């Protein structure tokens, strides 16, 4: 494995740890890694992050489920709402300027960070 691929694998591992530990959040690690390390354009980094996070989330869900830490009935409304939101977001994604996507992502990270401290 060459050094470049090792860096990509390490970024993926950090995203997986974030997903497993926090129940999500791997994208907050992957998007910056994909833009800085992989030199992907911002829009492609967001889309690639979604593709990478899906299997990580699936694995995390399975682990939480088999260890008894998942209440499926509580999760179902969020899954339905998330699916609708994902469809809407995916459809309007290409029409939104990258600068607004970056700002929205930044605000989301700031909001999450502030909520963690309060």
pLDDT in tens, 13-58: 888 888 777 767 777 888 888 888 888 888 888 888 888 888 888 8
Please answer whether residues 46 and 101 qualify as being in contact, where contact means their C-beta atoms are separated by less than 8 angstroms: yes
pLDDT, averaged across the chain: 85
Percentage of the chain lying above the pLDDT 70 cut = 96
Q: Provide the pLDDT for residue 23.
A: 66
Mean pLDDT value across residues 53-70: 86
SS (H, E, C) 27-56: HHHHHHHHHHCCCCCHHHHHHHHHHHHHHH
Domain ranges of the chain: 3-117
Rounded to an integer, what distance in angstroms lies between the CA atom of residue 89 and that of residue 116? 25
Give me the phi and psi of 97, to 5 degrees please: -65, 145
């Amino acid at each position: 494995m060459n050094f470049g691929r090792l860096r990509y694998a390490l970024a993926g591992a950090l995203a997986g740890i974030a997903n497993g530990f926090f129940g999500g959040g791997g994208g907050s690690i992957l998007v910056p890694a994909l833009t800085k390390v992989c030199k992907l354009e911002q829009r492609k980094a967001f889309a690639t992050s979604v593709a990478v996070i899906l299997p990580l989330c699936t694995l995390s869900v399975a682990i939480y489920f088999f260890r008894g830490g998942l209440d499926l009935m509580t999760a179902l409304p969020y899954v339905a709402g998330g699916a609708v939101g994902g469809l809407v977001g995916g459809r309007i994604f290409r029409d939104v300027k990258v600068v607004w996507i970056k700002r929205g992502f930044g605000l989301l990270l700031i909001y999450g960070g502030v909520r963690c401290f309060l």
